[in-house]
Structure 1
Amino acid sequence: MSDTTRAVPSVISCVRAIVTKATNSLLIHLVSMAMGWQATEEPSGASFKQNVPESVLAKIPKEWNYTPLEARGKETKTAIFITIQALSFIFTNLPLAVASVPLPIRFLFQVAEKHLSQHARQLRLMGLLLWALLGCLVQGLEDPETLEQISGLALDRGAKEPLALLAECLQATMGIQQKGVPKPTVHKVLQALEEKRPKWTNMQLQKARKLCSDSVLERGKESGVAAAELTEQKIGLMLLEVCHKAGGSDYLRQIYHIIQGNEELLMFKLSGSTNSPNNPPHLVNFDLGSDSHADTAGFNPLQQFDHIGKKKLDQSAVVDWAWDWPRLLPAYQGMSQVTFKTLLANRWEMQENAELEDGEKFMVEELQKAYFVCCCGPGPQDPPEADETLAKQTQGETQQSDKSAAQ
């Protein structure tokens, strides 16, 4: 599955796309981890980048295993730690990656594994699907362009190196013979991981391989058959319900015409092909045939929401209304007069037959004059201070007359 240069059948392309999709999420997270490692190691690597140009380092053959002087001595511990962290992430999420592969594809790999495992020792230990998933991971880690494409991040040498080391460690885990002399760091990484978590890698591989076993596939097959039967029953009940409604035959005829008119689009969606030579339409055609050809104009939301029938809405009649805002909502008062008048009018003291004392009656009369008497005349009005002064004078004169009468 790693050879993408030759033309392959469409079935192989679909299988490869599904396996690659299952590993892309792992690759994206590994790239983000590498960028985080690079950010933490950036201060120590700044002098190295300034002294030796990257163009010169790119010309050095990999077989030399050249390590810059500034980086020697500090590579081992950091590289081992971050590679162990990445390997732990991969083998922790490997069962989830297998579970994300559809059951038919897992069954296909299982059948192929029975024919190929007789000739390959690694397949007997790991399984064909796990071999393909890890192979896609290795291929992605070794291809910086693919990593940049799926992650949307630009990778420099500081991020590519730990990912390349991770790919070599995965190859060693799979038992693939590496080209040239293997790095001692790879052996140290695998040994440190085994010491830290004994037999954990093999346990994760076995857990992931159980998801491709016959029992899992049989359960998936039974549930798939039950779901298909249930779906068929639902479709039958829906058709009966449509037929028994008024105009049901017309509805079924319309559904048939819609399906027939979108046959090309349906075949394209069901096939799952990524390359479409005929350029099928991306929108569903709801044309019901010759019976429903009406001379109706296309839906224009600006036209439809601006009219009621053929009469255009007059928005200015609402916006440009002659509101008396200074009287309606005076800014100098704490409460709107509209709200205050409504509350005041519903109090029991303001009702006609309310039993009030003399002082309460006087207050009610003053409130009615202030808020419920229409002052529409253009003449000037007395300020509130003048009203209070007049009321005090009147009250004083009344008290004096009462005293003289008592004497």
Structure 2
Amino acid sequence: MTVLQSVVEVMLCCPQYPTVLSKVLLPVIDSVVMCAVDYVTEHLGKPAPPNMASTLSSLPCGCRATKGDESDGEDGKAMSTKVVLTRALACLLSALMETVQTIPTAVQLFCKQLQDKLTEKEIQTAHSSVGLQLLAGAVYLALHDQTQLEQWAGHTMKQTIKDNLSLLGLCAYHVLTATVASSKGNMPRLAYTFMRKHGSWLSEQIDNIVESVSNVSVDEGSSAAVLEGGNLEFLQLFMSTLAHKILQEQQGKNNLTHLFHVIKGNQQWFQVQLGIPPMLGKDDLPQVMPFEPNPGSKEQVMTFDPLQEFNSIGDCNIDQNFLLEFPWDWAELLQSDLGLSELGFTTLLQHRCDMTDESCLDTDKEKRHVATLKAKFGLELTSSV
């Protein structure tokens, strides 16, 4: 049995998983691939820069043209295709190592379950990580899908650029799944040279990717489902896929409608089973009612009374008139927003030096203002005492 056959066997336990898995991984592959695509397009999709030395030599200034600054390096001349693809490959691997850390927990659990199945059947995978092999295959397919690449880039590409991107995808797959000790075989020369020159750096990147894909804790001996540990967004997407599949069946709409009636009619029972506390601080626990698989007809369940809903929150009744006529103490409620009170202002005022010592006052106008403030807030009596 091959790795592909084992993948199919694991996915049979959840037929909708390939579609959901592709939707979840698409943003990851998109950001990783476009990083390399932009680099290749920028350096191979534009003409070579003009020779400035020949241009300056024709100027009538009498100056002798000199060689360009050697510090410019390869920025002053067009890089070869080999150099561009090598740097794009390094950029792609770095982006994959950084982006793979955002993979949802559900995908990590899927890779772990698949790896356990392969280990059980004694099937070897690249670096003992089927997750790494799946990512490498996804990158390979993305760089070979020329139509999708043009849609992501937003413009048409030359055929030479497309061919170089296809070669880049093949090199990325071999670099991620092979080892330095592997024979060349069908491996592109660019990939083999990259692995020999950057062996230690490549090993570090692959180890980080494998750790990110497999870094998930599952209790030993537990039969963890594929969806266990998935975040809310992933679970909602998966449930939406299941609901869509049910709707495609002949009685799918009736089955979903009946499921809604069961949940709506047994709402109190579900709240007790899930440990949801009573709303609005109710002390008395709701009475446990038996589960009713057939809660009643559609008309009874779907009855809606606007007045009753307006005067209730969940299973708690609210008296709207009581709320409107409640004797609110607005001064106390808004105390934090009203600033200083009169008493606080008076206390601060009486401790000012110009209020306690008239020698600080220079003009008669200032003395009149101080006297007015003392009379207004009763500070004359306080100072006399």
Report the TM-score, using the length of structure 1 for normalisation.
0.41
Which structure would you say has the larger Rg? 1
Report the TM-score, using the length of structure 2 for normalisation.
0.43
